[in-house]
Amino acid sequence: MTIVYKSTRDEKNKVSASQAILQGLASDGGLYVPTEMPKLHLNFEELAKKSYQEVAKFILQAFLTDFTPEEINACVEGAYDEKFSDPTIAPVVKKGEDYFLELFHGPTFAFKDLALSILPYLMTTAAKKNQIENEIVILTATSGDTGKAAMAGFADVPGTRIIVFYPEKGVSWIQEKQMVTQTGENTHVVAVKGNFDDAQTAVKQMFNDQALKAALAENNQQFSSANSMNIGRLLPQIVYYVYAYAQLIEQGELNNGDVMNVSVPTGNFGNILAAYYAKQIGVPIDRLICASNTNNVLTDFFQTGEYNRQREFHLTSSPSMDILVSSNLERLIYHLTGDNAIQTKALMDALSIEGKYQITPAMSEQLTDFFADFATEAEVEQSISEVFAQTKYTMDPHTAVAKNVADKFAVATDTSNKMVIVSTASPYKFPRTVVESISGEKSKENDFELVQQLETLTGIALPNEVKELETLPVRHTQVVAVDAMQTAVEGILNLSTN
Ligand SMILES: *Cc1c(COP(=O)(O)O)cnc(C)c1O
């Protein structure tokens, strides 16, 4: 069975898996989606005995049908090795009644590592398969975690270059330090005077700028994306939902066939879309809990069928979810229309022109798999402090959003299904909120002092990679206005665009 990928905005734009990964974003502005789901026999009694790497090979082979088994093996083995501090890669930890799927044991301490440690391997393999000689320039907007994880993956990978844009005032101190100290001659980091949505929109425009594309080609270069707009980022995220269910069986917490719910702290809608795809291929997930912070555009969408990005933007303690235009929702919308590219394009055009769109009642009816709600800043702090008091478990603010909304779901639905809370970042990435929530006091200390307090409070060993951030040399200092992002790219790449 060959899985073909198709643009959400143009029925006729069909490519292989490797071409979809290379392009990142379709040239019509749409996103690539699988035209059908692979028909898999998920034998969870067997999968329960398998390692993360074995599950990853099985799932990725089913989706990436133009990759050979040898290629998939090499990609998986290169990605999921000792870079991860936990040999199981994505452990499931029971605390109280909840199961935390910990996705932060990778090199940059957030769940982005699960996909971005493998994407460079998939990308360079795809380039070879398609006889691409051009240098691949990864152009990426980050809300804080993608940027570092992508650079960690692509640094000094031959044949690639990476440019990361992050919102100047929109990331945590640790996140910023991680990025501006990044080594590797092929890495470039630029702060933007704007928010993540501004940066993501400008990046999407550069992808679709034909003159820019031609200038790159003249330089023997071409763009690709490390954002979750790239299907090569999304597919590796399906793996940990399969693995989590298998682990719950292995631990005796679930019987084969029992359903579980998953609560996913959501920003760009990538992680929860991976859960949706996992359900489509047969993982027994009952409800998908879409958990937002006060940038609750998705909560309103699921409750009313209207997506309206015209609203106040809030900087919160969970900055990686400070997003009003959730790119990957386009893929869900496309599926809700019955894979109708014309209808999807019309809705996305309305979003960019009018700032909103309304889905039809027939589309809304298909949303029963989802439950959506949001957590306020005070609720995030309260959840961190309560969970710590009750179980001594330390949640980062993103995970706390998922836990808070999972609790709201439990109250609203009276379910006895097991709840998996997707735990997306290490508390060490966001020490201020965590320390202040647990201690109940505002702190005047700087973030570096706070990470040491966090170690004392929680007993979780302070990772060396965080400790050394204070003294590592800063290598990237460029700051630009949103409308100067393209000029910055042209400068970095020495392009002549006239
Ligand atoms: C990126 C990120 C999210 C949001 O994930 P999406 O796939 O964008 O919905 C949540 N938590 C953390 C820590 C992140 O880095």
pLDDT in tens, 347-383: 999 999 999 999 999 999 999 999 999 999 999 999 9
The neighbour count for residue 77, using CB atoms within 10 Å, is 14
The whole-number pLDDT of residue 414 equals 84
pLDDT band, residue 148 (cuts 50/70/90)? very high
How does DSSP classify residue 326?
A: -
pLDDT band, residue 338 (cuts 50/70/90)? very high
Pick the CATH number of 92-108+236-466 from 3.40.50.1220, 3.30.540.10, 3.40.50.300, 3.40.50.1100: 3.40.50.1100
Task: Report which protein residue has its CA nearest ligand 1's atom 7.
Answer: 270
pLDDT tens digit string along 225-265? 999 999 999 999 999 999 999 999 999 999 999 999 999 99
Q: For residue 322, report the distance from its CA to the centre of ligand 1, in Å.
A: 9
Q: 331-353 b/e with 16+ CB inside 10 Å = b? A: bbbbbbbeebbebbbebbeebee
Q: What pTM did the predictor assign?
A: 0.96
Q: For residue 245, report the distance from its CA to the centre of ligand 1, in Å.
A: 21
Q: What is the mean pLDDT of the chain?
A: 96
How does DSSP classify residue 110?
A: B
3-state secondary structure (DSSP) of residue 192: strand
**Residue indicated by tokens 């006895």:** 416
Q: For residue 268, report the distance from its CA to the centre of ligand 1, in Å.
A: 7
Q: For residue 388, which phi and psi values (nearest 5 degrees)?
A: -65, -45
Q: For residue 424, report the distance from its CA to the centre of ligand 1, in Å.
A: 7
pLDDT tens digit string along 419-453? 999 999 999 999 999 999 999 999 988 888 999 99
Task: Report which protein residue has its CA nearest ligand 1's atom 14.
Answer: 320
Q: Diameter of the chain by CA atoms?
A: 64
Say what angle helices 52-63 and 69-79 make with each other, to 10 degrees.
Answer: 140
Residue 65 has pLDDT above 80, yes or no: yes
Taking the CA of residue 398 as reference, the ligand 1 atom at the shortest distance is 11
Task: Report which protein residue has its CA nearest ligand 1's atom 2.
Answer: 320
Q: For residue 296, report the distance from its CA to the centre of ligand 1, in Å.
A: 14
3-state secondary structure (DSSP) of residue 376: coil
The whole-number pLDDT of residue 199 equals 95
- Strand ranges inside 254-332, DSSP E: 260-265, 285-292, 306-308
Residues with CB under 6 A from ligand 1: 110, 112, 145, 228, 265-271, 320-321, 398, 424-425
- Least Cα distance to 191 among 141, 136, 138 occurs for 141
Q: For residue 425, report the distance from its CA to the centre of ligand 1, in Å.
A: 9
Q: Are 285 and 333 in contact (CB under 8 A)?
A: no
pLDDT band, residue 34 (cuts 50/70/90)? very high
User: What ranges in 297-419 are assigned the alpha helix state H?
Assistant: 297-304, 329-336, 341-354, 361-364, 377-391, 397-413
The whole-number pLDDT of residue 497 equals 64
Residue 498 has pLDDT above 60, yes or no: no
Q: Where are the domains of the chain?
A: 92-108+236-466
Amino acid at the residue 222: Q
- The average pLDDT across 372-396 equals 98
